[in-house]
Every structure is written in C-alpha cells, then in structure tokens.
Chains A and B, each alone.
Chain A
Amino acid sequence: MAHPALVPPVLVDPLPEYEDSVGPRRRRPSAWHLLLLPLSLVMLTPLAWMVVTAVSTVQESRQFPPRLPSSIQWSNFVAVWTTAPFGRWLINTAVVSAIVVASNLVFCSLAGYAFARLRFRGSGLAFMLLLATLMVPFQVVLIPTLLIVKSFGLIDHLGALIVPNLVTAFGVFMMRQFFLALPPELEEAGRMDGASRAGVFLKIVTPLMGPALATLAILTFLSIWNDFLWPLVAIQSPENMTMQLGLSTFQGSHLTDWPLLMAATLMSQLPVILLFLAGQRMFVRSIASSGIK
C-alpha cells in the first residue's frame, strides 16, 4: 500500500539555537571562593604530606612538622615492587574491580528496570526489602556473609571478594531512580514501532543509560578498589590480597616504614586519581544525584 505523494508543506522552521554552539560559561570569582580555597587547601594537605613522605627517607618522615626532603628518594617506589608482591596485589584488585563493576552494570540495570517498569505481584514489598538492606551496616552482616562464602568454598580466594558484590542494593536503587526519570513514552513508542520488551531495553533504553552506568561504575569501582574490611576477613594468603589489604602489611606492630607505605599508597591511588580526573563531572553528578559520598 503506497501513499500518494503529498503536496510539500509550506513550512519554514527557524533554525534552532544549538546548545553546543554556546561556549562554556566562564566562571567568575565569587565570595564562596574565600571559603572554598582554604577548605581545598585543608583537603589537599594529607595528599601533599603523602607525596612528601613517599620521597623521603625514614628519618625525614619522622620529623614533625613535616619538611621537604633533602633529596628525592625514588628508590622507595622501586622498593615497594621488590619487597612485596605489589604487582600481584594490583592485578588482584584490578580483576576483582573489573568483574564487580561489569556485573553490577548488568544486574543492577536489569533489576532496576524491573522495579521501575514491570508490575508484578509483590514488587513493592520486594523493593522495600531491598531498600531495608541499605540501612543495615556491613559489620552486622559480616559474619553471615563469611559463613555463606565459606560454604561456597571461596575463603582465601578472589571469588570471596567478587561473589558477595556481584549486585548491590544501592546499584539497583540508583538504576531504578534513573529509569523512573526516563520518559515512558520512549519505550511505548518503541513498542508501537514493533520492538519487543527486550528489544526496547536493548535498542532504546540501554543507549540512554550512559550517564547512569558511568555513575554506577565510578561508585562501584571506588568502593571495591578501596575496600579493606571484607578482604581482611576473607583473604589470608599474601598472593590473594588486594591493594588495600596488602598496604596494611607495610605497617608493623613496632615499626612502620612510612616512606615505603606512602609510596605504595600513592601508586595504589593513581588509578583512582586518573579515573577521577577523567570522569570528574560524572563523579560530582553521581554524588549530587545519589546523595552519598
């Protein structure tokens, strides 16, 4: 069935003003900067102290107030790699973080979509239960989690760090909120155009999830990369340790090699700092939208 050709409509729309044609706004100094500048200096002090200590000798690191070192001790960074299985810890942490981030992106978005869009018996109750788990401190569920992981035979195995974090209640909640803000007409239009529900999710919803997924990825990565308590309980062998756990081995009961510890800490934080610099806008938005930090 072919439609006859239409008379061309007599319409001349004015060209729209493109958002991206407007240059970035130049921020002017404001009174807030008088407060923010000293605050940022306070926040930067521990970081600066860490960098200074990382390139100092042990004696110089014990001086108070801290001073700049007489010479830069690059050897501290070499020593981190030679005196401890630092590379192994780095790989362990990267593997755990990558798998957990990937699984959270998949499972949290699927579960969040279901809670936001599908009406099924008990969905409200299930969501309330999910929310309730957010209010339980991890310390409370530490032992039960340990017992479950032990029953899986995963103690002292990287799987112990991965399995309990494959999907998180926070991630599901965050993705649900995102889907609720997405106009349902887009999905309805997709269904009218002939797409199945799965097709709508894959072809219409998924491409629009970028900002939400990036936010979830950043928050999940930070939480896994910096996690200390759970690896401390679940991992014993040095070769299975993650970065944060490994760093703690630099601290002795009587003596701590602070330059070595700070050099290792500095290196361990480099991926986080790089991630922050790459996705700074997304990171700030994630904090603003999720109400957490």
Chain B
Amino acid sequence: MAPIVLDGIRKVYPGKPPVVALESLDLTIDDGELVAFVGPSGCGKSTVLRCVAGLEKLSAGRVVIGGREVQELPPGRRDIAMVFQTYALYPHLTVYKNLAFPLKERHVPRERLDSDVRRVAEMLELTPLLRRRPAQLSGGQRQRVAMGRALVREPVAFLLDEPLSNLDAKLRTQMRTEIAAIHRRLGITTIYVTHDQVEAMTLGDRIVVMRDGRLQQVGTPAQVYENPSNLFVAGFLGTPTMNRIVGHTSHGVVTAGSLRLAVPGAPDGESVLGIRPESLRMEDTHAGWPSFEVAVSHVEALGNENLVHARVAGRPAQLDLDSASALAEDTVVFRAPPKVRPETGGTVRVQLDPSQLLLFDRPTGERIRLLGPATVIDSTEIIH
C-alpha cells in the first residue's frame, strides 16, 4: 500500500497536429485511498491510468508510487496491478493458471503459489471454477477472476479501468458493492476509472472529474456534487442532470424569465442558474422561496417517483441559447412523488430553494462564488 503522486504528467501523441491527451496533471492520492476518475469518453481518464501503469510513456512529468519514481520502469516492475475493461483473461489458460500467472512470472515457489491462488479463489468464490477456461465463465465470474489475478500478488496499488462496464445493471450493482468491500478490507490505494457517475460517487473517497485531458475538479463526492467548480462538472454529475437556466445579472440581481433573485457579489453579464432537481419542489409551502409556473412537457414515471420535464413559463422566446454555453437549457426537470403526476401540457407551480441555487458565468462556464445565499427580490412579482 502506497500513496501515488502524479507530478505534472503530460501525454502528447505524435501526429500532425499532435494530440494532447493529458495536459499537465498534478494529483496526490493518499495511501489506501480510492480515487475515482470520471469524465466523458476521450477525456483522458484512461490515459492517466495507462501512464501510471506504464503502458504509455509520459511526455513529461513524474509518477511516484510509494516514494519511488516509476515513470521509467516497465509495468511489471511498478508493483501495481490492473483490471482491464475487457478483463483481459488469458483465454488458453484455466482460471487457476490465470490466477497463478503473475506469481509464476515472479518465480514464487510452487507451494506458496498454490496456497495464494487458492486463498484468493476462496475469497472471491472462484474455487469451483478453477478448472474452467474464461470462455466457460459468465461476465460476473470473469470479472471476479480479473480481480483475483490483480489481488493474488498483493500489489501496492490497484488500477481499475471501467471494470464494471461490460456487466448488466443488476450485476454491476452487486460487483460495485463487492469492490467497495474488497477495498474496505484490504485498504489498497486504488485508481478507479469510470464514465459512470454513480460508480464514481458511490465508490470514490474522492472523485476527479476530467474533460479534454484537463482536471476539472477534485474532491469528495459531496463536495463535487454540491459545489461544482464549473458548468461542466455541474452538468456531468447528478441524475437527472442539474437544471441550467440562462439568465442575466445586473446590479446583483439575476433575471431568468419570471424569476428574479438577489445574488450578492455576482458580476454583471450573461449567467446560468444551476438548480438541482431536488431543489425544486412541486409545493407552495415554503415561505420566502420563489415560486414560478412551468409548462409540463413530459413526465417519466419511475415507480418510486415521477420525473417532470417542464419549460419555464415567461421566458423570452428569442433568447440566444447557442451563442455561449451549449449546456444552457431552458427546460427544467424536477422530482414529484409517485402519486403526484401532473398532466402533460398543463402548468404547475414549483418552488425553488434559493439557498441551493448555483450561479455560473455563461461565457466561461466557471462558477460565480456569491457573497451570500440568493434571496427572492419580491415574491409577488414573480408569482403569476
């Protein structure tokens, strides 16, 4: 077990023009910590993993694992193990031989090899499968063999590259729990790469959000969710995604359609209001919370709740949405109790928790830090 330090790592693939996959990334992963890298396809999260593993040569920077610089070492000498998205089990070898392979390569004595393999197989409930080949295993079993092959040689760090993405939803949830249990028990420093925000939020001690080879934000799942540093992070995390409403700020007041709020410390200009679905309530009971009407366009009944998609009433119809942040939208999504199902096409009144409102600069997408919580200017003005 060891901390991992990424010191200004940069990866550029040669070509015309060269492709910058990673742009000078600095990060320290503490001993025993599980850090989840999350981001859309092509954001560079797998490249980070491959650079740490030694499967990609760095263009610049250092990788330090357990106080030892490893960027010049071959993958096998970094004392780390990796689980691949495709599991990469050796198809010609039985489960036993797959588990034994890393030990054999390290010339572990036969008796110890056998006991280590059987211990890991027992741990992961693979003992009845030891004589099977990978083609004779289900997806979940293959995943466990891949985990076992990484565990068996007791590495100082784990690298997991989208290990659950090939599993169905039910099995994915089960394996997620299992990976969390393994990490809790063994406490091995782990880098977990995923494009699934749920995996990142539930597994990561900290999560790292990446975009276009750049680190967008690092923090605990709660920090990143509640205090996103920019519109990209705000939009990437959370299901349903954060509501983004285009507004205009002038003299500390943001106006978006019928909505007017005092936003202390906000500079003048085009802005985007970020409102989590749970910050909108289909009630009218909170005094001092602004309420406004929305036109219901679609309702998704999920059984335990209804997701209501609606358009903000009173919005200027000709607002130019394309000129700045493409993320900005003029529809909102909010949750409704399962027995409350508004009519499609009808209008409903929703209330907004102003203390949960986030404000972003529209041209740059960066978060605008307010000097205090947003408050309603005049609730009578905004109620139709």
Binding site for B on A (CB under 8 A): 1-11, 13-16, 18-19, 183, 185-186, 188-196, 199, 203-204, 207-208
Contact = CB atoms under 8 A, between A and B. Distances in A.
Q: Which 3 pairs show the lowest CB-CB distances between chains A and B?
A: A194-B105, A194-B76, A189-B88
Interface stretch (B181-189, B216-224, B319-327): B181-189
Contacts of A6: 123-124, 181-182, 185-186
A1 B116 CA distance: 12
B101 to A, nearest CB: 5
Contacts of A207: 92
B91 A7 contact: no
Contacts, number: 100
B137 interface: yes
Contacts of B74: 191
Contacts of B1: 1
Contacts of A7: 181, 185
B1 to A, nearest CB: 8
Contact of B75 (A8, A19, A191, A199): A191
A19 B135 contact: yes
A11 B174 contact: yes
B76 A13 contact: no
Contact of A9 (B85, B181, B186): B181
B59 to A, nearest CB: 15
13 contacts: A3-B185, A4-B185, A8-B123, A11-B178, A16-B137, A183-B86, A185-B86, A186-B91, A190-B90, A192-B76, A193-B76, A195-B76, A195-B105
B232 interface: no
Of B88, B137, B171, which is in contact with the most chain A CB atoms at under 10 Å from its CB? B88
A189 B90 CA distance: 9
A189 B144 CA distance: 15
B141 A13 contact: yes
Contacts of B370: none
Of A190, A193, A199, which is in contact with the most chain B CB atoms at under 10 Å from its CB? A193
Contacts of A199: 105
Interface string B144-183: 1000010101100000000000000001001100100110
B138 A15 contact: yes
Nearest to A7: B181
A185 B146 CA distance: 12
B140 interface: yes
Given A1-B154, A11-B140, A185 B84 contact: yes
Contact of A193 (B101, B123, B141, B185): B101
Contacts of B182: 6
A191 B56 CA distance: 12
Interface in B75-112: 75-77, 80-82, 84-86, 88-92, 101-102, 105-106
B196 to A, nearest CB: 19
B239 to A, nearest CB: 25
Contact of A2 (B77, B138, B154, B178): B154
B136 interface: yes
Contact of B124 (A9, A185, A204): A9
* Chief secondary structure at chain A's binding surface: loop
B82 to A, nearest CB: 5
Contact of B123 (A5, A14, A16, A185): A5
Contacts of B80: 192
Contact of A4 (B76, B178, B186): B186
Nearest to B185: A6
A7 B251 CA distance: 59
A185 B76 contact: no
Nearest to A17: B138
Interface string B49-74: 00001110000000000000000001
B125 interface: yes
A186 B76 contact: no
Contacts of A208: 91-92
Contacts of B186: 3-4, 6
A193 B55 contact: no
Given A13-B140, A13-B141, A188-B84, 5 more contacts: A9-B178, A13-B171, A186-B90, A188-B82, A194-B105
Contacts of A18: 136
Contacts of B141: 13, 16
A128 to B, nearest CB: 19
B138 A194 contact: no
Given A185-B88, A208-B92, A193 B154 contact: no
B339 to A, nearest CB: 34
A159 to B, nearest CB: 36
Contacts of B54: 191
A186 B181 CA distance: 27
Given A15-B138, A194-B76, A199-B105, A189 B82 contact: yes
Given A189-B84, A193-B149, A9 B90 contact: no
Given A16-B136, A185-B86, A192 B53 contact: yes
A271 B151 CA distance: 51
Nearest to A8: B125
A205 to B, nearest CB: 10
Nearest to A186: B88
Contacts of B140: 11, 13
Given A3-B185, A5-B123, A11-B174, A16 B53 contact: no
A13 B74 CA distance: 36
Interface in B282-337: none
